[in-house]
Structure 1
Amino acid sequence: MSQAAAGATVDDEKSLLEKAVRLFVDATPPVGAPIEDWRTGFEALAANFEIAADAEIEEIEADGVPGRLVRAPGADRDQVIIHFHSGGYVQGSSLSYRNFAYRLSQVTGQTVVVPDYRLAPENPYPAAVEDAKTVYGWALRTWSHDRIVISGDSAGGGLAVATLLAIRDSGLPKPAAAFAISPLLDLAGESPSMQECAESDALIDRNMVVEMGKVYIGDIDPHEHPYCSPLWGEHHDLPPLLLLASNSEVLRDDSVRLADSVRAAGGSAELSLPEGMVHIWTLFPFLPQAAKSLDVIGGFVKSHAGS
């Protein structure tokens, strides 16, 4: 954990959390605004996060899917995390995730690959899942399956879990483990926390989930398409999972419901539900809880995919 995170007071943490919410709100246009406004806002938000001088960053092409490979000093070249970025399937990029990928590489000691999967509305469902599966097939030619971890946050977290289902259903060897941060797993927006946390979540509500989801999936029923809404799929034969969500965000119970279903199917699913965090808080390098949660992720990854 960073020294700043360890030494932060309660007032400091509150002030920093308010800063994160403010940055998020300022970057987020109203539902229905042009997609370019969403994309520009998100990139401007991420531009606040400094890229470390010692970061090793390489543009890659994974069988036609572009992205970036990021390593912190000392990271293992023989182990990789494939991380799918957030953005509601319409925004976000490997460029905006360089800072996060570097911190993830630091805490796990692994190489991180952030794919630029195709975005809606130009490339609607199932384009993102197709790209994610392509990237995994590409990774299997360089890394052993038991040295690959799949992860994502928000919509990228949903994509990560959808990719696990697609890998299993295709008969490919499964990765060593997977984790997801504030994952968007139900585009029908039916988790109880949609109502229970409506007042405590400053950023997301059911209308945003459903309406932005329609940009990605159109008029299809998410209940019938687990590769876009993985809570509605079968959850047997998945690798060990770690699911993180704020206890006060509307997406909280997407993680709770998935964890319950994975366990009922005989699998392993750990839950981490820190109090009072903003959605995908780990994106913000100045939040003490971001460092704490990344430490949890680091321990999980090392226990399942360590050297």
Structure 2
Amino acid sequence: MRPDGTVTAASVAIPYSAFASPQARMFFPKMLAASAKAPPLDAPIEQSRAFYDRLNSDRAARMRKLYPVTVRHVTIAGVGADAVLPAQGVSPANHHRVLINLHGGAFLWGAGSGGLVEAIPIASLGRIEVITLDYRQGPEHAFPAASEDVEAVYRELLKRYRPEQIGIYGCSAGGILTGEAVARFIAHKLPVPGAIGTFCGSLVAIGGDSAYVGPLLNGQGVPVHPLQLLALPYFRGANADDPMVQPGLSPALLKQFPPTLLITGTRDMAMGSVVHSQALLAQAGVEAELHVWEGMWHSFFSDPELPESQQAYRTIVAFFERHLAPSQEEAHP
């Protein structure tokens, strides 16, 4: 051990978690093999988008067999989106509620199929409309383009819904964008939504123990330099200390956040960010509910067959059911 607390080890052999489900233990090696084929972050954007669209299109097809939905492409306030509705119809309790999904993908890919992966199980299981946005991304666009798109859609939805009837959630880049969007709403004096979810990415940049341990546990070795938010093309020219980029840096801003659901896994490189964000929200007096799944990796619930994924879907649905306001008729029968 070094004087600064840095721990070194010549070699390690870490078995997969005994607490994970049998299905996860069987799937984990397949996940590692598929991840090894992913293009590097600096690959040509067309190559990365094609790779992840194939991956997510397969996931979405598998999801639709388990979670029947109808999908239609729409444009809201000039922003492309997919409106995902449960095949069995929106439940009476959710007729006056809506969820906005912000897909993951490093602010580079994930539009379309990636958004469907995050929206399909929640729409079907929760019997609620989920609108997943094709917000602007890098390298073509830079911060705050995505936040502007979310704000435009949110303003339009406020014409049809009360703010407390709207929920917003996202995974990875979408989890980060969810926090950034709420920060922007507050800065522009908009009412905050009824509840939000930040999954596998949250209100501060990736850091802490998991930024090193997560890649190690996923067979990638310990990184010399963990992934930096501002290294992403979308954030070129942005200020890392700007609370519109990292809302967790501003306690005053966090005090105005709505109830927040945070989800991660013990093998997620963003776990430290998510755990720390929950602590910051709690310190600010915000209801912040944290769920950590043992043995699970970044965006683990993108694969619907895992019991852990299905538990995550139920957790998300239940959280928004508890926190989004009912219609005025239901509230005052």
Q: Do both share a fold (TM > 0.5)? A: yes
SS at match of 1:271: strand
Give the equivalent residue in structure 2 for 1:3: none
Matches within 5 A, 1:122-137: 122-137=140-155
Selected match of 2:277 from 247, 252, 258 = 258
1-structure distance, mates of 2:150, 2:225: 26
Q: What letter is aligned with 2:43?
A: A
C-alpha deviation, 1:231, in angstroms: 2.8
Decide which moves more: 175-184 or 122-131.
175-184
1-structure distance, mates of 2:140, 2:225: 22
Given the superposition, is the C-alpha separation of residues 218 and 206 from structure 1 closer, same or farther in structure 2, using an over 3 Å criterion?
farther
C-alpha deviation, 1:226, in angstroms: 2.3
Output the aligned Cα RMSD. Answer: 2.2
Q: What letter is aligned with 1:69?
A: A
2-structure distance, mates of 1:211, 1:298: 29
Q: What letter is aligned with 1:37?
A: Q
C-alpha deviation, 1:294, in angstroms: 0.9
C-alpha deviation, 1:191, in angstroms: 2.7
Decide which moves more: 163-172 or 73-82.
73-82
Contact 2:104 2:115 in 1 (8 A): no
Give the equivalent residue in structure 2 for 1:227: 244
Query: Is 1:293 the counterpart of 2:312 in the alignment?
Result: yes
Selected match of 1:200 from 202, 217, 223 = 217
Q: What letter is aligned with 2:163?
A: H
Give the equivalent residue in structure 2 for 1:39: 49
SS at match of 1:175: coil
Unaligned runs of 5+ in 2: 1-19, 327-333
C-alpha deviation, 1:45, in angstroms: 0.4
2-structure distance, mates of 1:296, 1:235: 23
Give the equivalent residue in structure 2 for 1:23: 34
Q: Give the alignment's TM-score, normalised by structure 2.
A: 0.82
Q: Deviations along 1:128-183, whole A, 9 cap, x unmatched?
A: 11111111111111222111001000000000011111112221111110112101
Given the superposition, is the C-alpha separation of residues 89 and 208 from structure 1 closer, same or farther in structure 2, using an over 3 Å criterion?
farther
Q: Over alpha carbons, which structure has the higher Rg? A: 2
2-structure distance, mates of 1:21, 1:81: 31
Q: What letter is aligned with 1:105?
A: A
Contact 2:260 2:288 in 1 (8 A): yes
C-alpha deviation, 1:218, in angstroms: 1.3
Selected match of 2:64 from 52, 60, 73 = 52
Q: What letter is aligned with 2:313?
A: L
Given the superposition, is the C-alpha separation of residues 198 and 24 from structure 1 closer, same or farther in structure 2, using an over 3 Å criterion?
closer
Contact 2:207 2:272 in 1 (8 A): no
Query: Is 1:161 the counterpart of 2:176 in the alignment?
Result: no
Contact 2:210 2:271 in 1 (8 A): yes
Selected match of 2:89 from 66, 74, 93 = 74
1-structure distance, mates of 2:98, 2:223: 33
Matches within 5 A, 1:137-152: 137-152=155-170
1-structure distance, mates of 2:202, 2:219: 16
Given the superposition, is the C-alpha separation of residues 215 and 15 from structure 1 closer, same or farther in structure 2, using an over 3 Å criterion?
same
Give the equivalent residue in structure 2 for 1:303: 322
Decide which moves more: 147-156 or 195-204.
195-204
Q: What letter is aligned with 2:89?
A: G
Q: Deviations along 1:100-141, whole A, 9 cap, x unmatched?
A: 312111232211000100010101111111111111111111
Unaligned runs of 5+ in 1: 1-8
